[in-house]
């Protein structure tokens, strides 16, 4: 683990993609909070976009972000529930090369401590496409804070080192 800590990346180029049919840049607290937390941790946010709950629109937005050489990490917010309008997980899964199963498991465990059995409704997940990492979080401000503060930000440097080996 010492080698991993020594070689971990300190800063990353990021993008935030919010999926919602009701939010815009003026009303989107979760996207703004994700950007704030990333920047406070020393990362740079190169892109921020809101798209509707449409699988093809989400995939197209993700493809654009994945093709941006500055972007190494994509944080999605929204569309991870079980309603018929929740399409983010399906869109992301179609693009992933490797899934990080432990991310969703840990997110739900930590979420259970905060919100109880409703945590089981979350399909939060993560994975890689090439040398880039995508994290899909629920659309609530609390979920974004939990995912970023407790899992993503503490582990991101190590994850970036691993995905680039």
* In contact, 31 and 16? CB cutoff 8 Å: yes
- The whole-number pLDDT of residue 10 equals 77
Q: How many CB atoms lie within 10 A of CB 78?
A: 30
Burial of 54 per CB tally in 10 Å (0-12, 13-18, 19+):
middle
pTM for the predicted model, two decimal places: 0.94
Residue-wise pLDDT tens digits, 119-162: 999 999 999 999 999 999 999 999 999 999 999 999 999 999 99
Q: CA-CA distance, 54 to 146, in Å (whole number)?
A: 25
Indicate the pLDDT class of residue 3, thresholds 50, 70 and 90: low
Domain ranges of the chain: 2-163
Q: 2-163 — its CATH code?
A: 3.40.980.10
Indicate the pLDDT class of residue 5, thresholds 50, 70 and 90: low
Burial of 140 per CB tally in 10 Å (0-12, 13-18, 19+):
middle
- The whole-number pLDDT of residue 7 equals 59
Indicate the pLDDT class of residue 117, thresholds 50, 70 and 90: very high
């Amino acid at each position: 683990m010492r080698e991993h800590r020594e070689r971990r990346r300190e800063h990353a180029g990021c993008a935030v993609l919010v999926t919602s049919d009701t939010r815009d840049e003026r009303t989107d607290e979760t996207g703004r909070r994700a950007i704030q937390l990333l920047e406070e941790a020393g990362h740079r946010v190169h892109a921020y976009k809101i798209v509707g709950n449409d699988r093809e629109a989400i995939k197209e937005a993700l493809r654009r972000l994945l093709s941006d050489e500055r972007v190494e990490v994509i944080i999605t917010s929204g569309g991870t529930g079980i309603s018929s309008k929740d399409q983010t997980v399906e869109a992301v899964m179609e693009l992933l090369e490797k899934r990080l199963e432990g991310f969703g498991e840990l997110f739900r465990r930590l979420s259970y401590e905060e919100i109880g059995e409703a945590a089981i409704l979350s399909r939060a997940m993560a994975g890689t496409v090439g040398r880039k990492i995508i994290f899909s979080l629920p659309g609530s401000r609390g979920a974004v804070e939990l995912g970023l503060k407790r899992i993503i930000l503490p582990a991101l440097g190590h994850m970036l080192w691993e995905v680039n080996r």
